[in-house]
Amino acid sequence: MNDAPFSQFRHYLETERNASLHTIEAYARDIAEFRILVRGDETFSDWTAVDHDQARSFVIKLFDRGDSKRSIQRKLSAMRSFYRFLIRHNLAKDNPFTGLAPIKSDKPLPLVMSVNDIDRLIGGVKSYWEQAASAGFAKSEESAGFAMARDIAMIELIYSGGLRIGEAVGIDLGDLDIANSVIRVRGKGKKERLAALGTQALSALRSYYPQRRTTGADRQLSSPLFVNRFGTRLTARSFQRNLKNYLASAGLPPDFTPHNLRHSFATHLLDAGADLRSVQEMLGHENLSTTQIYTHVSAERMRKVYKESHPRAK
């Protein structure tokens, strides 16, 4: 194949850019794909004949073939770089790959725990501390009982109200309104909102209160709700460290985090028919677009169930 422009480009990558062999071969593959997919000729070398429509056609064919967005981005970057070189050396007048609509990579969907996963997690807290007490690696049975009640209440509260871990550990006694089953939460930018306390969360809090008193923690309204064994405010890092143990005890994936409880809260509400605007307010999102990721999660779950269950989907 006589393709002097590409040969010059390859020489430029090797000598001036000091590119690795891997990078050079990747450029060569991407340019070869354009030749075959758009021009239908692996020997094509008339680069001045390529126009914007052909560049757009390249994108469409890559999508149709099933290439990932990340892969398509890389191939377009290679073609743009190639044409910048051609223009700089007067081998082309225009870059047909500029001006194409940007391709945004899909953000990974948040991990969502099922209701059964959350029940298993609560069971994991109980089994961990029961074993800790019986095996003697807890300081005492009382300290194990305190940590178990506290962390169950923390999990139930995060899931019940869709809280961030920082919001949960920042709650003070005065933020609770048990009579109305709500809690005042201070979110990002010190913005306050009310979060719901479900039946399970209220029950867990009632079990935790007597345990909290054993630490000698202050009972003033400005005192932290969740405390450590010294009676001072529990840190997010400490709870996250404990969560790893509970996940292992429950046989759940180790990459679940407290934030996955918040993701689960939003997804389960949408699955049950809650409107997006209400979920936005409950999460404390400033923009609705931030909340919309959960509609993608719900849609993905729906597609999965459909494929697994519908006789015409298989």
The CATH number assigned to the domain holding 304 equals 1.10.443.10
Q: Is residue 101 part of a domain?
A: no
Quick one: 81 and 180 in the same domain? no
Quick one: 302 and 219 in the same domain? yes
pLDDT of residue 223: 96
pLDDT of residue 1: 45
**Structure pTM?**
0.65
Concerning whether 191 is annotated as a catalytic residue, the answer is no
Nearest partner of 135 among 251, 235, 249, judged by Cα: 249
Catalytic residue among 74, 259, 296, 301: 259
pLDDT of residue 187: 87
The count of structural domains within the chain is: 2
Quick one: 215 and 303 in the same domain? yes
pLDDT of residue 297: 67
Q: Is residue 93 part of a domain?
A: no
Concerning whether 246 is annotated as a catalytic residue, the answer is no
Concerning whether 89 is annotated as a catalytic residue, the answer is no
Quick one: 130 and 77 in the same domain? no
User: CA end-to-end span of the chain, whole Å?
Assistant: 46
Quick one: 125 and 64 in the same domain? no
Q: Is residue 301 part of a domain?
A: yes
Concerning whether 294 is annotated as a catalytic residue, the answer is yes
C-alpha to C-alpha distance for 223 and 34, rounded to whole angstroms? 65
Q: Is residue 108 part of a domain?
A: no
| DSSP conformation class of 219 | -
Angle in degrees, CA 66, 71, 72, rounded to 5: 75
Quick one: 54 and 169 in the same domain? no
Nearest partner of 76 among 92, 91, 61, judged by Cα: 61
C-alpha to C-alpha distance for 130 and 124, rounded to whole angstroms? 10
Q: Is residue 56 part of a domain?
A: yes
Catalytic residue among 75, 164, 263, 268: 164
Quick one: 56 and 141 in the same domain? no
Quick one: 142 and 218 in the same domain? yes
pLDDT of residue 2: 53
Q: Domain span at residue 16?
A: 4-88
Q: What are the residue ranges in the chain where pLDDT is below 70?
A: 1-2, 105-109, 296-297, 299-302, 304-306, 309-310, 312-314
Catalytic residue among 188, 206, 213, 307: 188
C-alpha to C-alpha distance for 166 and 149, rounded to whole angstroms? 19
Concerning whether 65 is annotated as a catalytic residue, the answer is no
Quick one: 52 and 127 in the same domain? no
